[in-house]
Amino acid sequence: MTAPSAYPDADEARAAQAALPRLRRYLEDHPENPTSVPVVTEDDREELVLPRAALELLLGVLAHMAAGRGVSIVPAHAELTTQEAADMLNVSRPYLIGLLNAGEIEFRMVGTHRRVRADSLLDYLRRDDQRRREAADELSAMNRELGLD
């Protein structure tokens, strides 16, 4: 697991903005490379072959950096402390503990400490996003029924 990164500085954000469309275009133009993609290094023009999935992940990282947001990469099997999990959800630690105790997010006890698997946290985020979309759709439907849109 990488440590949370600092936000990119202006030069890093500009570099990400420049690289983003080029990488996106390459991946779109070369769908025939399903598992690996050659990449040429700038210094010695040596060709590296990287997994396509790594470049697709890099595309997401570049998009966040271009927008000036910091990025962290956490393996799905990583176990997080409750503070790390709360930070990822952008909630307080006591609120996260409430979610854990309510069974919303899986965790395990290590001695007296709770550990949250990153994939359980991501599952919760997906479910929460789905609930929010459904609630927004329901509100839109109510507005249409009442003639408020």
Mean pLDDT of 82-106: 95
Strand order in the sheet with 79-80: 79-80, 113-117, 108-110
CB half-sphere exposure, 132, CA atoms < 13 A: 6
Based on its alpha-carbon atoms, the radius of gyration of the chain, rounded to whole angstroms, reads 20
Q: Where are the domains positioned within the chain?
A: 10-66, 79-145
pLDDT of residue 6: 65
Give the pTM: 0.59
Token pair in block for residue 45: 């023009």
CATH of 10-66, one of 1.10.10, 3.40.1000, 3.90.1280, 3.30.1370: 3.90.1280
Q: Is the pLDDT of residue 105 over 80?
A: yes
Query: Which region holds residue 85: left if phi is over 0, alpha if psi is between -120 and 50, else beta?
Result: alpha
Task: Give the residue from 111, 112, 108 showing the smallest Cα distance to 79.
Answer: 108
Q: Is the pLDDT of residue 60 over 80?
A: yes
Q: What are the angstrom distances between the C-alpha of 37 and each of 17, 32, 40, 54?
A: 21, 10, 10, 9
Token pair in block for residue 119: 């994939």
Name the band, by pLDDT with cuts 50, 70 and 90, for residue 43. Answer: confident
Q: Is the pLDDT of residue 1 over 80?
A: no
Considering the chain, what is the average pLDDT of its residues? 88
Q: Is the pLDDT of residue 74 over 90?
A: no
Task: Give the residue from 64, 90, 71 showing the smallest Cα distance to 5.
Answer: 71
Greater confidence (71 vs 131) lies with: 131
Window from 27-41, 76-90, 99-113 with minimum mean pLDDT: 27-41
Class of CATH domain 79-145: mainly alpha
